Amino acid sequence: MAQAEDRPNEPVSERTPLDGVDLVLADLDGVVYTGDAAIEHAVMSLTAAGQTRRIGYLTNNASRTAASVAEHLTSLGLATAEDDVVTSPQAAIRLLADLIPAGATVLVVGGEGLTTVVEGAGFVVTRSALDQPAAVIQGFAPDVGWNDLAEASFALNDDPARPWVATNTDWTIPVARGIAPGNGTLVGAVHNAVGRLPVVAGKPEVAIFEEAVRRFGGDTPLFIGDRLDTDILGANRAGMQSVLVLTGIDGRKQVLAANAMSRPTFILGDLRELAEPYPSAVHTVDANSGDTVVTVGNASVRLAKTVVTVDRAGDRPIDLLRAATSLIWGCGLPIYGLDVAPELYS
């Protein structure tokens, strides 16, 4: 696997995000679809990329099986096999298998997407702490309720050494009606009851990325996500180039304020831009004022002491955002110490 550069946010000169990439890994919610509906341009763009590169799909959502995800993607127009989908339960079960004996009883908090993987690995599923499980594994499902969280708490408090594996800790999940609480919220409830944290398999931890590369191969993977705190942070930790696409959770305000390890290699408005030249950010110093000016395409922004303003909006809003991120990320000042023009993040 390609190693992350010291500064994964450095602009790449006049090449497309796909150049040199032999494996494309895409998140699902907020990247390919929202709810049941495909995100505009996603299917066309990933189909085109798949003509010359291996495509795999990663999801932290533990509520669905890989087979059901593949069926959904196929229904949207992406010819996808079950083995093309890496789920957080699949990564979690590898972690669990290193912690408990084969065939042990496991208390499962979650739905079919998790139970099928646990059973498929040869473990016995229980829903009760009274069965003295060897471990607890927790993942999201819409019908997880208080009783499920209580049983996990009973099991973990009964034996402080009992392993606890979480598929993921996303605080929120995008659904058709909007943003809803995710598995991180449910894990947080158990954490508050037991006073310790689980081992986590999903993004931003590297287990799910390692599972994907183990399955698909590839020397120069590119990961596409819509969240800085899980997708981009995880890809950077795993040593992959990353794309943040602005069709899901995080938008302009969040990307401008991204910390050093949550900054993507590329910022895209939608997935059509995967195949478009990615312009360099050109940094200059105004000879008269001493201000720093950053230009991307025909959009430019200016830093005068601590004030960030728009010099030229240009004709592509995404280039204006790219210029602003390059300026803000490179200026050495924290975002809260800057006065940023509202048109850059609104």
Active site residues: 27, 29
User: How many C-beta atoms surround the C-beta of residue 98 within 10 A?
Assistant: 9
**Contact of 134 with 158, CB cutoff 8 Å:** no
Cα(320)–Cα(313) distance, integer angstroms: 6
Cα(266)–Cα(296) distance, integer angstroms: 13
Dihedral angle sign, alpha carbons of residues 260, 264, 268, 270: negative
User: How many C-beta atoms surround the C-beta of residue 51 within 10 A?
Assistant: 7
Cα(62)–Cα(120) distance, integer angstroms: 15
Of 274, 279, 292, which Cα lies nearest the Cα of 329?
A: 292
Cα(221)–Cα(208) distance, integer angstroms: 14
